[in-house]
A and B are shown apart, each in its own frame.
Chain A
Amino acid sequence: MISIKKLQKSYKGITAVDIDVLEIHAGEVIGLVGNNGAGKTTFFRLLLDLIRANSGEILSKGNLVTTTEEWKSYTAAYIDEGFLIDYLTPEEYFYFVGKLNQLSKADVDDFLHTYQAFFDDAILKKGKYIRDFSKGNQFKIGIIAALLTNPELLILDEPFANLDPTTQLRLVDMIKKMAADNRMCIIVSSHDINHVSEVSSRILLMEKGKIIKDIAGGEAAYDEMVEYFKVK
Chain B
Amino acid sequence: MSLLTFLAHQWHSFWRARNANKSLVLQIILGIFYLLIFLEIAGIGILLPYLLEERMPGKDPVLLFSSYIIYYFLTGLLFRFQLQELPSLSIQPYLTQNIKRSSMLRFLNVRSVVHVINILPLFVFIPFSVVVILPAYGTVATVCFLVSMFALVVNNHFLNMYIKRRSISSSWWFFAIIIIIAILKGFDYFKIISFEKTSANLFIGLLHHPWLCIIPLALATVIFLINNNYLRSHLYIEELVSERKLTISKKYSFLDKYGDVGEMIALDLKLIFRNKRPKSLIILSGVILLYGFIFYPKYLQTGNYTVLFLFALFITGLFISNYGQFLFAWQSSHFDGMMSYNINMKQYIKAKFSLFVTVCSLQFLIASFYGFMGWRILPIQLAAFLYSIGVNSFVTIYAATYNYKYLNLSKSASMNFQGIGALQWLQSLLISFGPVGVFYLLNKFVGFWAAIICISALGITGLALNEVIINWLVGQFNIRKHKILEGFRER
Q: Which residues of A contact B (CB under 8 A)?
A: 45, 48-52, 69, 72-73, 75, 77, 79-89, 91-92, 95-97, 99-101, 127-129, 132, 149
A63 to B251 CA separation, bound complex (whole angstroms) = 36
The reply to whether B334 and A101 contact each other, CB–CB distance below 8 Å, is no
Q: Which residues of B contact A (CB under 8 A)?
A: 244, 246-251, 260, 263, 267, 270-271, 274-275, 331, 333-337, 339-345, 409, 482, 485-486, 489
The reply to whether A82 and B250 contact each other, CB–CB distance below 8 Å, is no
4 nearest CB pairs, A to B: A83-B337, A82-B336, A127-B246, A52-B482
A17 to B393 CA separation, bound complex (whole angstroms) = 39
The reply to whether A86 and B247 contact each other, CB–CB distance below 8 Å, is no
A50 in complex: contacting residue of B270, B333, B340, CB < 8 Å = B340
A72 to B338 CA separation, bound complex (whole angstroms) = 11
A99 to B265 CA separation, bound complex (whole angstroms) = 13
Knowing that A49-B340, A83-B334, A92-B250 are A-B contacts, what are 7 other residue pairs whose CB atoms are under 8 Å apart, sorted by A's residue number? Answer: A69-B345, A79-B336, A82-B334, A83-B336, A83-B340, A84-B334, A96-B263
The reply to whether B482 and A129 contact each other, CB–CB distance below 8 Å, is no
- Tell me whether A82 and B249 are in contact in the complex, defined as CB-CB below 8 angstroms, given that A50-B482, A87-B270, A99-B260 are known contacts: no
A72 in complex: contacting residue of B270, B342, B486, B489, CB < 8 Å = B342
CB distance from A123 to the nearest CB of B (A): 13
Which residues of chain B have C-beta atoms less than 8 A from A86's C-beta?
333-334
B341 in complex: contacting residue of A52, A80, A91, A97, CB < 8 Å = A97
Which residues of chain B have C-beta atoms less than 8 A from A82's C-beta?
333-337, 489
B342 in complex: contacting residue of A52, A88, A101, A129, CB < 8 Å = A101
A70 to B249 CA separation, bound complex (whole angstroms) = 31
Which residues of chain A have C-beta atoms less than 8 A from B263's C-beta?
96, 99-100
A86 to B343 CA separation, bound complex (whole angstroms) = 18
The reply to whether B335 and A85 contact each other, CB–CB distance below 8 Å, is no
The reply to whether A89 and B247 contact each other, CB–CB distance below 8 Å, is yes
B340 in complex: contacting residue of A72, A84, A95, A99, CB < 8 Å = A72
Across the interface, name the chain B residue whose C-beta is closest to A91.
B249
Across the interface, name the chain B residue whose C-beta is closest to A51.
B482
CB distance from A48 to the nearest CB of B (A): 5
The reply to whether A75 and B340 contact each other, CB–CB distance below 8 Å, is yes
Which residues of chain A have C-beta atoms less than 8 A from B335's C-beta?
82
The reply to whether A72 and B336 contact each other, CB–CB distance below 8 Å, is no
A145 to B485 CA separation, bound complex (whole angstroms) = 21
- Tell me whether A50 and B485 are in contact in the complex, defined as CB-CB below 8 angstroms, given that A100-B341, A100-B343 are known contacts: yes
Which residues of chain A have C-beta atoms less than 8 A from B343's C-beta?
72, 100
The reply to whether B339 and A50 contact each other, CB–CB distance below 8 Å, is yes
A206 to B334 CA separation, bound complex (whole angstroms) = 27
- Tell me whether A100 and B260 are in contact in the complex, defined as CB-CB below 8 angstroms, given that A50-B485, A83-B340, A86-B334 are known contacts: yes
Which residues of chain B have C-beta atoms less than 8 A from A49's C-beta?
339-340
A69 to B247 CA separation, bound complex (whole angstroms) = 35
The reply to whether A73 and B244 contact each other, CB–CB distance below 8 Å, is no
The reply to whether A88 and B246 contact each other, CB–CB distance below 8 Å, is no
The reply to whether B341 and A72 contact each other, CB–CB distance below 8 Å, is yes
A127 to B247 CA separation, bound complex (whole angstroms) = 5
